[in-house]
């Protein structure tokens, strides 16, 4: 991963919700692998999938096929469990992002709490990175979480942008953006590489793209929603444009 044109971050396209549509009927379409091909053709810099414990969307077979077909890089989001560790060590994605996971949640609700699980998560990070799989930790932009991420020697953090995305007014949005800026500055000082994601859309992505040190944005739901209307290639191209400049209302 590296910063893209004009020093702005690259785009990782999360294709989970292509599989959500497929699993609604438990059929064979739409195919996440085909979606990944179209996303890459349109300029996606990486493909992200979350293999959840309950297998609500992406299936293990999808990840294995994507490992064989993705030409950019494959980011596997997963819970910090022994089952998922074994799966990742077998499939060997280009990197792993450890995320919190609860069966009852609709989508990931917040960042991973590294502080309270340093030993356990640190052990998983060590096993993955010893196998040549860099690890990113999906965390809130909090000082203690960043310090703990350094302690367990993760290569990346992915800052949770949900609070920024859900802010209901400009004052709240500015406050959350300031928190993300502070998190980026702290991470850069201690040598962590920085990604971000969650809740980002065509209309709110640009300020996050401009955060100091930001390398890649992982974005899914808004792209898949747009793709349902205009096609995957156009949806990805428009997100690349939104990252580089603010779109007109």
Write out the catalytic residue numbers.
50, 77, 198
Q: Which residues pair with 26 in a beta bridge?
A: none
CA distance to 13, 80, 90, 204, per residue, from 219 (Å): 5, 21, 26, 12
- Report the C-alpha gap between 158 and 214 in whole angstroms: 9
Q: How far apart are the first and last CA of the chain?
A: 31
Instruction: Evaluate whether 125 touches 98 at the Cβ level (below 8 Å).
Output: yes
Instruction: Evaluate whether 18 touches 49 at the Cβ level (below 8 Å).
Output: no
Q: What is the token pair recorded at 167?
A: 């802010």
- Report the C-alpha gap between 214 and 231 in whole angstroms: 28
Instruction: Evaluate whether 6 touches 244 at the Cβ level (below 8 Å).
Output: yes
């Amino acid at each position: 991963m590296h910063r893209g044109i004009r020093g702005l971050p690259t785009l990782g396209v999360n294709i989970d919700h292509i599989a959500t549509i497929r699993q609604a009927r438990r059929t064979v379409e739409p195919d996440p692998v085909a979606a990944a091909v179209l996303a890459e053709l349109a300029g996606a810099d990486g493909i992200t999938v979350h293999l959840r414990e309950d297998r609500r969307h992406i299936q293990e077979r999808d990840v294995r096929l994507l490992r064989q077909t993705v030409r950019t890089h494959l980011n596997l989001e997963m819970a910090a469990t022994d089952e998922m560790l074994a799966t990742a060590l077998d499939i060997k994605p280009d990197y792993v992002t450890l995320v919190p996971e609860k069966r009852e949640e609709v989508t990931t609700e917040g960042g991973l709490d590294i502080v309270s699980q340093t030993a356990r998560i640190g052990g998983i990070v060590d096993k993955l990175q010893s196998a040549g799989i860099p690890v990113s930790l999906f965390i809130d932009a909090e000082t203690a979480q960043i310090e703990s991420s350094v302690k367990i020697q993760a290569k990346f953090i992915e800052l949770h942008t949900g609070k920024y995305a859900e802010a209901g007014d400009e004052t709240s949005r500015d406050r959350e953006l300031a928190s993300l800026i502070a998190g980026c500055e702290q991470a850069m000082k201690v040598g962590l590489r920085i990604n971000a994601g969650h809740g980002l859309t065509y209309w709110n992505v640009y300020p996050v793209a401009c955060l100091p040190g930001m390398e890649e944005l992982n974005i899914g739901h808004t792209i898949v929603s747009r793709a349902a209307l205009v096609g995957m290639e156009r949806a990805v191209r428009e997100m690349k444009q939104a990252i580089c400049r603010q779109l007109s209302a």
